[in-house]
């Protein structure tokens, strides 16, 4: 039996609980649970009890399908409260015949993370971008090299402590301990990026229900991250307002008829909708596409402004890779290419083994990326074997959460 990894993707629209088993560096998906998200808004908890109930449903499915009683999880995080910055750490290296050691790197990273942080925020990711040893820069891995002055440049992601505590409280309510939090875009990158894209320079944009999370990679490392509080929910809301229809009707219309390219749609192409009041109306697909295009353009304009603000515009020869449920909108890649003037592709998780039929979709990039993250060099949580039992505690959890 290998190590058991449990990932919880807690999104605005859905919750995905994924169980993977790692044996000899090979990951196999052995458990899956999916439930409709409740108590969440723009990636953040707004109702602890409702969110906990939704979590319990997904976790019960994952435990049942995997056969394991799970205790710790790597958890996705999103929300406008998340921010990223870069900082350097410099240390003197003691003379020894073994060269730079892991301890030297950790010492330099400790110096890099010594930045002023408000009391209500905490560091979530500390990811080295590059190293300089004496006057030699651009070093990928200095271990074993010789020198006297080691400098590390790191990307630091911080988040609001109360937001993480609320998320952790929901997970704790269902008997799971938060082991590590991972930004959505960074997790998604683990599932969809090719090594050549990471090296050349690329942006991953995870367009979810409530947020759009981006991570920029250069030379194989994370160079920049950002979360925008706009996503698929806002597109659906625009449609609901325009049609004067219930939100669930607008969501179905978006999925069935939505497109981002009004200039490619026949003006005579129409469909029927039943708005508030019950009287069926006819709607042109071209009109619908114009509404969708406006909001999608706004998302990519926000990304473009961030690229320009940070002067990373010339570092993206591999373009932008789109993931998340809302990246499945027809023509969204065309809008991304037009606004950003870079190549764009929509990506699903790759190289999956095991229970993967439902996971071959951009909507599950973060979910798969959470378990893949555990096999990368940047995670901090070390998995441990789980018990081959399930279902002993779920009944009591539901009983505790449900109102009397």
Q: Give the pLDDT confidence of 215-228 residue by residue, as tens digits.
A: 999 999 999 999 99
Residues 334 and 289: their CA atoms lie apart, in Å, by 13
Q: Which structure tokens are listed for 95?
A: 């003379």
Angle at 380 between CA 379 and CA 385, to 5 degrees: 95
Terminal C-alpha separation, the chain: 41
Give the residue with greater pLDDT, 399 vs 164.
164
* pLDDT score of 393: 52
What is the Rg, in whole angstroms, of the alpha carbon atoms belonging to the chain? 22
Q: What is the pLDDT of residue 370?
A: 95
| Helix or strand holding residue 305 (H, E) | helix 285-309
DSSP assignment letter at 262: G
**CA 318-306-201 angle, 5° bins:** 20
Which of 195, 192, 216, 186 lies closest to 313 in space, CA to CA?
216
Both structure tokens of 244? 């004067």
Q: What is residue 26's predicted lDDT score, i.e. its pLDDT? A: 83
Alpha carbon distances (Å) from 384 to 7, 22, 59, 202, 321: 14, 11, 18, 33, 33
User: How much is the pLDDT for 385?
Assistant: 45
Residue 384 has a pLDDT of 45
Give φ, ψ of 63 to 5 degrees. -70, -40
Structure tokens of 287?
């009109």
Q: Tokens 């399930």 label which residue?
A: 390
What is the distance of C-alpha 39 from the center of its chain? 19
388 band by pLDDT with thresholds 50, 70 and 90: low
User: Is the pLDDT score of 55 beyond 80?
Assistant: yes
- pLDDT surpasses 50 at 86: yes
Average pLDDT estimate for 76-89: 94
Residue 312 confidence (pLDDT): 86
Give mean pLDDT, residues 356-374.
92
Query: Of 260, 228, 192, 195, whose CA–CA distance to 43 is shortest?
Result: 228
Residue 377 has pLDDT above 70, yes or no: no
Q: What mean pLDDT value characterizes the chain?
A: 90
Q: Which are the contacts of 266, defined by CB distance < 8 A and separation ≥ 6?
A: 285, 286
Mean pLDDT of the region 171-197:
95
Q: Is the pLDDT of residue 8 over 90?
A: yes
Residue pLDDT, tens place only, 263-322 = 999 999 999 998 887 789 999 999 999 999 999 999 999 999 999 998 888 889 999 999
pTM: 0.90
Please give the pLDDT value at position 119. 93
Widest distance between CA atoms in the chain: 82
What domains can you pick out in the chain, each with its CATH number? 83-157 (3.30.1490.110), 194-346 (3.30.420.40)
Cβ atoms 322, 361 nearer than 8 A: no
Specify the range with the lowest mean pLDDT, choosing from 20-24, 173-177, 179-183. 20-24
pLDDT at 135: 87
Say which DSSP state 363 is in. G
Gap between the Cα atoms of 204 and 366, Å rounded: 11
| pLDDT for res 34 | 96
Bridge partners (DSSP) of residue 133 are 136, 150
Both tokens of 374, joined, read 């555990």
The model's pLDDT over 324-345, given as tens digits with 9 standing for 90+, comes to: 999 999 999 999 999 999 999 9
Residue of 375 and 122 predicted with greater confidence: 122
Torsion of CA 394, 399, 401, 404, to 10 degrees: 170
Q: Point out the least confidently predicted range of 1-10, 124-133, 155-164.
A: 1-10
Q: What local confidence, expressed as pLDDT, does residue 22 receive?
A: 86
Angle, helix 184-192 to helix 365-373, in steps of 10 degrees: 90
Q: Is the pLDDT of residue 172 over 70?
A: yes
Measured distance CA(402)–CA(404) in Å, rounded: 7
Say if residue 138's pLDDT is above 90. no
- What is the per-residue pLDDT for 376? 74
């Amino acid at each position: 039996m290998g190590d058991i990894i449990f990932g919880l993707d807690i999104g605005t629209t859905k919750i995905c609980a994924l169980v993977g088993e790692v044996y000899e560096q090979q990951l196999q998906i052995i458990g899956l649970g999916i439930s409709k998200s409740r108590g969440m808004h723009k990636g953040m908890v707004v109702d602890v009890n409702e969110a906990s109930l939704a979590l319990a449903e997904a976790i019960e499915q994952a435990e049942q399908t995997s056969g394991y009683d799970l205790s710790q999880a790597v958890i996705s995080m999103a929300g406008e409260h998340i921010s990223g910055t870069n900082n350097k750490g410099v240390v003197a290296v003691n003379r020894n015949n073994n060269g730079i050691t892991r301890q030297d790197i950790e010492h330099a990273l400790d110096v890099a993370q010594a930045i002023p942080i408000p009391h209500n925020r905490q560091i979530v990711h500390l990811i080295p971008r590059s190293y300089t040893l004496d006057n030699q820069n651009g070093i990928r891995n200095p271990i074993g090299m010789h020198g006297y002055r080691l400098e590390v440049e790191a990307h630091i992601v911080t988040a609001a402590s109360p937001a993480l505590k609320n998320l952790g409280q929901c997970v704790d309510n269902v008997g799971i301990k938060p082991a590590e939090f991972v930004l959505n875009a960074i997790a998604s990158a683990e599932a969809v990026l090719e090594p050549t894209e990471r090296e050349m320079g690329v942006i991953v944009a995870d367009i979810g229900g409530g947020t759009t999370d981006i991570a920029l990679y250069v030379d194989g490392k994370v160079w920049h991250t950002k979360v925008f509080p706009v996503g698929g929910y806002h597109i659906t809301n625009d449609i609901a307002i325009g049609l004067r229809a219930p939100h669930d009707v607008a969501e179905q219309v978006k999925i069935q008829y939505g497109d981002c390219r009004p200039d490619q749609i026949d003006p005579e192409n129409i469909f029927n909708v039943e708005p508030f009041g019950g009287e069926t109306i006819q709607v042109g697909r071209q009109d619908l596409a114009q509404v969708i295009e406006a909001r999608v353009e706004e998302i990519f304009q926000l990304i473009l402004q961030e690229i320009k603000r940070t002067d990373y515009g010339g570092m993206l020869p591999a373009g932008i890779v789109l993931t998340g449920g809302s990246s499945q909108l027809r023509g969204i890649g065309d809008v991304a290419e037009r606004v950003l003037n870079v190549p764009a592709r929509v990506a699903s998780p790759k190289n999956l083994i095991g229970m993967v039929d439902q996971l071959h979709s951009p909507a599950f990039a973060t979910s798969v990326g959470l378990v893949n993250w555990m096999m990368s060099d940047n995670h901090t949580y070390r998995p441990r074997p789980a018990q081959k039992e399930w279902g002993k505690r779920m009944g009591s959890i539901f009983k505790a959460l449900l109102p009397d």
